[in-house]
Structure 1
Amino acid sequence: MNRRDIEKRAAQLLQHHGVSQAPIPIKEIAEAEGLVVVEMSFNGDISGALIRNHGSSGIAVNATQHTNRKRFTIAHELAHYLLDHKDKDEDHIDWKFTVIRRDGKSSEASDVQEIEANTFAACLLMPSHFLRADLNNQIGFNGEADLDDAHIKAMAKKYRVSEMALRFRLANLGLIPPA
């Protein structure tokens, strides 16, 4: 799936749920899509997991991580669910119980499904039309936004995402130069 299609799917999901401003109520959207969201402790660098069991699905999120990280993890796992991703390396806990984890591997950008899930999560939590509206007065002649660290910090707080996630999203949209 290409970036434009992912952006469109995320926008359709927001429209379907009547979301018109940030921050995106990601847990509520996931639950409205039929996923139970639970927080629990994980060992190692696992941020979360999409759990499928006998036709039911849910998202487990690492309770020890920052709220912004949890929000991104929920959006990432929701992407796996909505994009109907199947993990080639599924963890089979028992004969009909599967888990797709979000961990260090998912952020390496080496697996197509992980790239799609990260892209979907970013599009969902930081919709391009919301960002462009917020930056309307900051866009210069060159099409890039003139933002200082205070602007980035305030926007990240508004969207309830990390400053790094926001910077990546803005750069991917061509609104700021890549770092």
Structure 2
Amino acid sequence: MVDPMTVIAQHWNSTPVPIEAIIRDIGLPLSYEPMDDNISGYIERQNGSYRIVVNSSHAPTRQRFTAAHELGHYIYHRDLLGEGVGDNRAYRTEGTDRPNLNIRPIHERQANSFAANVLMPRHRLSDVAEQSTAALAARFAVSQAAMKIRLGR
């Protein structure tokens, strides 16, 4: 089995961080499918294998964060996932067709933190911190809101 953290480290110096390549190199299928607007994506297990599915109608920056968030669930919460977990726009399992009572708000925060750390690595941000939030968000292919939170602005 491939070590996910090794794969992430191999891609961490690219800007933007290629989350799709990371997920594929780890060995997880990633697909984009139409969903209700209030659903961002999900990770599911079928026949013992996992796959990540992202809402194809969301903005590309949101899709990247969702993919990284679901990867965080795979890495940190695999033992809790059961058949999977869906995430709404607030990255909560409530109101999805894949609710999972094992996944609590703390797990969602961990997946969000993981996504932010992967997509906006601190060691890369320190080199360019003087740039505007908008410029950094564009450079790292994330939303301005996500970048603002990451920078603590």
Query: What TM-score, normalized by structure 1, do the two folds share?
Result: 0.71
Of 118, 123, 126, the residue aligned with 1:132 is 126
| Matched residue, 1:100 | 85
- Report the alpha carbon displacement of residue 14 of structure 1 after superposing the two structures with TM: 2.8
How many residues align? The count is 140
- Report the alpha carbon displacement of residue 34 of structure 1 after superposing the two structures with TM: 1.1
| Matched residue, 1:144 | none
Aligned counterparts of 2:77 and 2:47: Cα–Cα separation in 1: 15
Q: Which consecutive residues of structure 2, in runs of 5 or more, have no partner in the other structure?
A: 94-103
Alignment of 1:56-67 (within 5 A): 56-67=49-60
Max Rg structure: 1
Distance 1:170 1:107, change over 3 A: farther
Q: Quick one: percent identity of the two aligned structures?
A: 31
Q: Which consecutive residues of structure 1, in runs of 5 or more, have no partner in the other structure?
A: 1-9, 91-97, 139-146
Alignment of 1:27-176 (within 5 A): 27-85=20-78, 86-87=80-81, 98-106=83-91, 111-135=105-129, 138=130, 151-171=132-152, 176=153
Distance 1:18 1:162, change over 3 A: closer
- Any idea what SS the aligned residue of 1:21 has? coil
- Report the alpha carbon displacement of residue 55 of structure 1 after superposing the two structures with TM: 1.5
Runs (4+) of structure 1 moved beyond 4 Å? 10-13
- Report the alpha carbon displacement of residue 102 of structure 1 after superposing the two structures with TM: 1.5
- Any idea what SS the aligned residue of 1:102 has? strand
Aligned counterparts of 2:111 and 2:138: Cα–Cα separation in 1: 22
